[in-house]
Amino acid sequence: MPYDKKAIHFGGGNIGRGFVAEFLHNSGYEVVFVDVMDSIIDSLQKNKSYTVTEIGDDGERTFTIDHYRAINSKHEEQQVIDEIATADTVTCAVGPNILKFLAPVIAKGIEARKLDYPLAVIACENMIGATDALRGFIEQKLAEDTLKNISSKARFANSAIDRIVPNQDANAGLNVKIEKFFEWCVESKPFDGTKNGAPKIEGIHYVEDLRPYIERKLFTVNTSHATAAYYGTNRGIPTIDQALADKEVHDIVRDVLKETANLIVKEHGIAVEEQNDYVEKIIKRISNPALEDKVERVGRAPLRKLSRKERFIGPAAKLAELGESYEKLLGSVEMAYRFQDIAGDEESAELAKILKENDAKTVVTKVNGIEEGHPLFADLVKVVEKVQKK
Ligand SMILES: NC(=O)c1ccc[n+]([C@@H]2O[C@H](COP(=O)([O-])OP(=O)(O)OC[C@H]3O[C@@H](n4cnc5c(N)ncnc54)[C@H](O)[C@@H]3O)[C@@H](O)[C@H]2O)c1
Ligand SMILES: O=P(O)(O)OC[C@@H](O)[C@@H](O)[C@H](O)[C@H](O)CO
């Protein structure tokens, strides 16, 4: 493999090392990791390779990832700018709330570009429109002239990324254990008319309209995952597979998925059988005991997960608008509201504070982004009142 293309990847964490970098590497890209965590960057700089182990029904397979470099953007901003100026792609997997912090350095890299083809920017986060959000932050930092010619400098494509990468063993170092299944869908249209076309990354499924893919993923994989995590936490169950082995939790997850499946089928014209097959596949994936996926990881950042476009309120709001049932989703919302003061999770502490300091109506407006008058509002207020009582 010549490794003659260059990819800058922000976030050397689980999905960054275990999924995005693996695919870039296998497609002949030299990967430049950018992170702010000293331990990850130091380790990537010291070790010239790490392994990714895929766990499937048919056993395990291990791959070696090499041909990468690593930069700490806290200390070496100019280096990151120079790399972006001469790169083919920028990807990130840092978490939706971090996107705004990446924007200034990416904007400077775009300003410094002299190449005769645009940079491909693809955010790989669990968020509807993550690349659009990143683009918005970047554009706030660009000079007027650059903004006028932005399509010659950079192209921005949203993506939906699906692969379970649990937290890794403390002694694993850089090595990543990951499920075998993957899906990475990226919008194709933003690359129309460019010299090189869409980035040639093996495994990416380019699609004209991403909405059905990202909504199906977020409202099936992540809705069920988070439901299992929050009910599991509430019952003192440590991992997702163990939560799903509990008959009651298992049945609740299935009931919640009936509600989101109803929406997905109605909204996107996906056949009922196809959605049923998808649901079965997802339940099997998240029940995989080999992943040992902790409920705290899957439930992390409850304020984000309880927000308007996210895995519970997104589908529940739409179902309410359509006059369809969303009762089981309210149960997941209740359990998410009960995910408070979890060690290492700042949002869970913030959630506890918000619930203590505000009345239920204010909480719903603030946390769920649902206003009085919306058909979901009164039911959410009841859920919050119940949680506030106990
Ligand atoms: N883990 C999964 O199963 C999975 C699957 C699909 C999508 N995702 C999404 O991928 C994203 C990352 O998730 P993860 O599980 O890899 O999390 P993670 O915590 O393992 O990795 C995030 C990385 O981003 C780094 N980071 C934080 N601020 C940064 C900054 N300003 N600049 C550069 N790097 C920074 C962190 O140091 C960390 O290394 C999230 O949006 C998540 O929803 C995760
Ligand atoms: O990453 P989050 O916090 O949005 O959600 C936690 C998990 O549900 C998520 O990371 C899944 O493992 C992943 O989305 C599977 O593709």
First to last CA, the chain: 59
Residues 184 and 35 in one domain: yes
- Atom nearest to 298 CA in ligand 2: 6
- Atom nearest to 14 CA in ligand 2: 10
**Tens digit of each residue's pLDDT, the chain (390 residues):** 888 999 999 999 999 999 999 999 999 999 999 999 999 999 999 999 999 999 988 889 999 999 999 999 999 999 999 999 999 999 999 999 999 999 999 999 999 999 999 999 999 999 999 999 999 999 999 999 999 999 999 999 999 999 999 999 999 999 999 999 999 999 999 999 999 999 999 999 999 999 999 999 999 999 999 999 999 999 999 999 999 999 999 999 999 999 999 999 999 999 999 999 999 999 999 999 999 999 999 999 999 999 999 999 999 999 999 999 999 999 999 999 999 999 999 999 999 999 999 999 999 999 999 999 999 999 999 999 999 998
* 218-242 core/surface letters (b: 16 or more CB in 10 A; e: else): bbbbbbbbbbbbbbbbbeebebbbb
**How is residue 372 annotated by DSSP?**
T
pLDDT at 168: 94
pLDDT at 90: 98
pLDDT at 57: 80
Ligand 1, CB within 6 Å, residue ranges: 10-16, 34-37, 40, 73, 93-96, 98, 101-102, 124-126, 161, 163-165
Residues 227 and 145 in one domain: no
Ligand 2, CB within 6 Å, residue ranges: 126, 162-164, 221-222, 225, 298, 300-301
Rounded-to-integer distance, Cα 257 and Cα 220, Å? 6
Supply the residue whose CA is at minimum distance from atom 7 of ligand 2.
298
Q: What is the CA radius of gyration of the chain?
A: 21
**Boundary of a domain, candidates 209, 230, 255:** 209
pLDDT at 56: 84
Residues 39 and 128 in one domain: yes
Give the other-Cβ count within 10 Å of 389's Cβ: 7
Supply the residue whose CA is at minimum distance from atom 16 of ligand 2.
162
Give the other-Cβ count within 10 Å of 196's Cβ: 12
Residues 191 and 302 in one domain: no
Residues 199 and 290 in one domain: no
pTM over 0.95: yes
Residues 287 and 236 in one domain: yes
- Write the CATH number for 70: 3.40.50.720
Supply the residue whose CA is at minimum distance from atom 39 of ligand 1.
13
Of 9, 152, 150, residue with least CA distance to 67: 9
Residues 160 and 263 in one domain: no
Note the ipTM here.
0.99
pLDDT at 2: 86
Q: What are phi and psi of 161, to 5 degrees?
A: -125, 130
Residues 166 and 271 in one domain: no
Residues 189 and 293 in one domain: no
Q: Which residues form the domain of 166?
A: 5-209
- 375 Cα: distance to centroid of ligand 2 (angstroms): 28
- Write the CATH number for 257: 1.10.1040.10
Report how many domains make up the chain: 2
Residues 268 and 128 in one domain: no
**Boundary of a domain, candidates 148, 181, 209:** 209
Residues 175 and 269 in one domain: no
Residues 197 and 230 in one domain: no
Does 390 participate in catalysis according to the annotation? no
**Boundary of a domain, candidates 169, 188, 209:** 209
